Amino acid sequence: MVFATSFAHAATGSTRAQLRETLRRKREELPQRTQRDAALDDALERELRVLHARCIGAYCASRGEYDALRVLARVGAGLGWPWRIALPVVQPAVRGMRFCAWAPGQALREGPYGIAQPADCGTEVEPDVLLVPCVGFAEDGLRLGYGGGYYDRYLEHRPQVLTVGLAYDACRIEGLAAQAHDRPLDLVLTETRRYQRAASNR
């Protein structure tokens, strides 16, 4: 599938808040969105089939994010469920999050920031692979999120977790400067590209 050309957004001259607003708008206005999602589905499925994961952390898509759950569920069922799925439960009071086991069909409820989360966190788990939504990303694995720092704090003491960012080409950023708390992603998948950070930089 050939998509309209997307150019990287320059970070120079913009604050992170301005970048977030610009990239969220670009994501919401993406042409060929159905086709782009299908291409990302294929890219994620290829990745899932070669991962040796016991537990994969995912997310409930919101605000125009790519929805990874449908592919995760389909491939998991096809492979006989070699992994568990975990979804984040955000804890704003302590600015943290934990992951709870979840299976397709189990109830969800609206959580903080309007993001769905498991209605009942019966089992808290630790993912060994984490699918991470991106507002924006750089080729070196730097991620622009919503500014809350929840993923960075969660990953701070979990260097063994493999992180896979999911984004669209239009959300690539050039010149994004790292901040002290940033935890770069190991891999970023878009509808046309696969960006992998060198193992020596993990």
Contact 96, 150 (CB under 8 A): yes
Query: Across all residues in the chain, what is the average pLDDT?
Result: 90
* CATH number attached to the domain at 9-201: 3.40.50.10420
Mean pLDDT of the 6-13 span: 72
3-state helix/strand/coil string of 50-62: HCCCCEEECCCCC
pLDDT at 3 over 80: no
Question: Coil, strand, or helix at residue 133?
Answer: strand
DSSP run (H or E) holding 90: strand 84-91
Q: What is the pTM for the complete model shown?
A: 0.92
Instruction: Give the model confidence (pLDDT) of 94-148 as tens digits.
Output: 888 999 999 999 999 998 888 899 998 888 999 999 999 999 999 999 999 888 8
Determine the pLDDT at residue 200.
46
Mean pLDDT of the 61-86 span: 95
58 vs 198, residue with greater confidence: 58
